[in-house]
Amino acid sequence: MHLNSNLIFRDFAEGIFLLDETGKITTCNAAASAITGYQDIDITGKPLYAIGDGHDDPIKYRYELDQALKRRKFVAEGWKLRKDGTRYWAETSYSPVFDESEGLAGYCVLLRDITEQKNKQIGLLESEERYRLMVEAIRDYSIFMLDPEGNVVTWNEGGTFIHGYAESEILGRHFSVFYTAADLLDDKPQKKLQMARDNGSYREEGWRVKKDGSLFWANVVLTALFSDRNALIGYSKVTRDLTGRLKEEEILRQSEARYRSLVEQVGDYGIFMLDTKGRIISWNEGARRIKGYSAEDVIGKYFSIFYPEEDILNGKPGWELKVARATGKYEEEGWRLRKDGSRFWANVVITAVYDAEGRLSGFSKVTRDLTERKMSEQALQESSDKYRQLAQELSVANNELSSVNSELEQFTAIVSHDLKEPVRTVRSFLYLMDQHVDQQKFNLLKPSIGKGILAAQRMHELIDNLLHYSQISKSGLQRQKLDVEEVIGEAIQNLNDAIEQSDAQIRVDSGVPFIYGDRVQLVQLFQNLLANALKFTNGRKPEVELKSWMEDGRVRFVVEDNGIGISPENLEKIFEIFRRLHFASQYPGNGVGLAVCKKVVERHRGTIWAESEQGKGAAFHIMLPKI
């Protein structure tokens, strides 16, 4: 059997149609019938588009045939319908056939059903398209491709959104436009590409520039893309704008930093943290100033280093933490130690610090140095004490002055009354005597002279008494230990004549043996009191009792008589100088005796008073300090 063209035509596995020069089908092989479903005789004499997509298009058909004739080959792809109406993707390849005289004999058309191949291709396309659309639609990420040189070849909406460039503006431009001037100087874009190429990908966070020139904090992933032949075909670049997150972090960081620097820089308060065990984990300027330790000195140490030894031995630091843990807070003032060992008076507040879950994370300790305040408080106290003392001294001086003043006043009254009186009397009698002489009444002279002399004598006595009285307040007190009986004995001795004359009975019952005081003045005191007891009688024999005893640490003397007594309204008046209750004719005297007694007692820091029941005699009481 010889291989001839007919046999080839009949058995060729691809569908073949033979067309005449006008394009009408003359015949087709079995393979073609298998593809189209049409038998040879069904389609002979029909144009090829009869087995097309159902839409007869002679114009297009003529064009295709002309193209084939011109180029000697023309391939078309498209949907065609089988005889049964089913669709297939056909590749139709036209070749013109020429006869021996180079005239067009017709066309040979090769028909292939490539539906399966086409479907695969379409699927792939659709998948790619989906990814593309997806990438392009992403707004939160800028995702684009770079060619191996770094020029932008794709763009997405995220890129527009983040970088500010529209797709048309950025395609074809080098990705270095996204970098800051400083990065460009460093030649960073090129370095980054190199790193991505070497390591497969490169990621970083850093500042990038938007189209409008503003900066944003970018998270960038640059990935090198290699073909299946391992050739670099470009890079993908995914960029995220983290400025927002960064802002929050920055705000947090700044806020923390502010607080930290605030705490660190506070100079007047020592503020530091302890861990749960009491070890120091932070330190500030105030703590450094107050305690003298630098942060390096103390971080990690137990805070008990600030306590005096006795506090440590008493377990005070640990106890304070215990209180702070139990009650949330411990506060006190006390002595603490500086680095150099000197003490300072501290106000301390320890506060338990808990984390978000409520677990104890440590303690904050705020320490203030109150030493200066304490010192100034103390100084204030001292100066206040001093002033109080001064005020007291002033008040004493004032009292003394006012008593001196009242003495002066009294003296004025004495001079103006008591001393002036006898002078006036003398003067008056002299004038009277002058009148008598003028009137030649010499017999009247004698009584006037007598009264004048009496007045002069009275004046003399007054001056003597006044001098005596003022002597007591002026001369210094000769304080010494005195035998009480001796003092009283001397007073009695001085009154010997009066006692004998009145036949008085004086009983002394001294329960106190010794007393401290001025001998002369105390003798004068008892002498005056006894003399009064002898003088103010109702004609009865004087009976006087002098007793003494200790009472509340003081000495009480009582001089009691059986005399005329003193009416209640006069009990105080009797101590006034020159005060007299009786006419001189009745009970002679000058009104000085009891005033002297009062003065002596007061100079011995004691008190004197009289008690009396009418007609039952009088009792003079004296209270003197023992020493």
Determine which helix (DSSP H) or strand (DSSP E) holds 375, and give its type and residue range: helix 371-413
The nearer residue to another protein, 96 or 422, going by C-beta atoms, is 422
For another protein, the binding residues in 555-594 under the rule CB under 8 A are: 578-584, 591
Q: Which of 71, 427, 541, 605 binds another protein (CB under 8 A)?
A: 427
Q: Which of 255, 402, 416, 538 binds another protein (CB under 8 A)?
A: 416
Q: Which of 241, 285, 369, 418 binds another protein (CB under 8 A)?
A: 418
d(CA 167, CA 157): 8
- Give me the residues paired with residue 331 across strands: 349
CA distances from 606 to 176, 244, 312 (A): 111, 93, 57
d(CA 543, CA 561): 6
The nearer residue to another protein, 148 or 589, going by C-beta atoms, is 589
Task: Report the number of secondary-structure helices (H) and strands (E) in the chain.
Answer: 21, 20
From 378-386, 419-427, 507-515, 558-566, give the range in contact with another protein by CB under 8 A: 419-427
Six-digit token pair at 383? 């100066």
The nearer residue to another protein, 420 or 441, going by C-beta atoms, is 420
Query: Does residue 425 interact with another protein by CB under 8 A?
Result: yes
Looking at residue 548, what DSSP letter applies? E
- Spell out, one character per residue from 137 to 156, where the chain touches another protein: x when CB under 8 A holds, - when not: --------------------
Residue 584 CB, shortest distance to another protein, in Å, is 7
In our burial notation (b when 16+ CB lie closer than 10 A, e otherwise), range 398-435 reads eeeeeeeeeeeeeeeebeeebbeebeebbeebeebbee
Six-digit token pair at 122? 């379409």
Q: Which of 253, 373, 424, 541 binds another protein (CB under 8 A)?
A: 424
- Give me the residues paired with residue 19 across strands: 25, 107
Residue 501 CB, shortest distance to another protein, in Å, is 23
Strands lying side by side in the sheet with 269-274: 269-274, 360-369, 343-354, 329-337
Residue 399 CB, shortest distance to another protein, in Å, is 21
Q: Which of 226, 354, 431, 549 binds another protein (CB under 8 A)?
A: 431
Number of residues that bind another protein (CB under 8 A): 25
The nearer residue to another protein, 246 or 456, going by C-beta atoms, is 456
CB distance 268 to 372 below 8 Å: no
Query: Does residue 264 interact with another protein by CB under 8 A?
Result: no
Residue 560 CB, shortest distance to another protein, in Å, is 24
The nearer residue to another protein, 248 or 572, going by C-beta atoms, is 572
The nearer residue to another protein, 381 or 416, going by C-beta atoms, is 416
From 22-30, 427-435, 544-552, 611-619, give the range in contact with another protein by CB under 8 A: 427-435
Query: Does residue 262 interact with another protein by CB under 8 A?
Result: no
d(CA 606, CA 207): 99
d(CA 368, CA 266): 11
For another protein, the binding residues in 313-372 under the rule CB under 8 A are: none
Residue 591 CB, shortest distance to another protein, in Å, is 8
From 68-76, 196-204, 215-223, 413-421, give the range in contact with another protein by CB under 8 A: 413-421
From 30-38, 216-224, 251-259, 412-420, give the range in contact with another protein by CB under 8 A: 412-420
Looking at residue 538, what DSSP letter applies? S
- Cβ neighbours, 10 Å, residue 351: 14
Q: Which of 451, 519, 547, 554 binds another protein (CB under 8 A)?
A: 451
The nearer residue to another protein, 363 or 578, going by C-beta atoms, is 578
Q: Which amino acid does the sequence have at 537?
A: T
Residue 421 CB, shortest distance to another protein, in Å, is 5
- Spell out, one character per residue from 370 to 409, where the chain touches another protein: x when CB under 8 A holds, - when not: ---------------------------------------x
d(CA 164, CA 155): 11
**617: region left, alpha or beta (phi > 0 left; psi from -120 to 50 alpha):** left
Tell me which residue has tokens 């002498």.
527
In our burial notation (b when 16+ CB lie closer than 10 A, e otherwise), range 547-558 reads bbeeeeebbbbb
The nearer residue to another protein, 65 or 433, going by C-beta atoms, is 433
Residue 592 CB, shortest distance to another protein, in Å, is 13
Q: Could you tell me which residues come within 8 angstroms of residue 605 by beta carbon, excluding any fewer than 6 positions away?
A: 624, 625
Q: Which residues bind another protein (CB under 8 A)?
A: 409, 412-413, 416-418, 420-421, 424-425, 427-429, 431-432, 435, 451, 578-584, 591
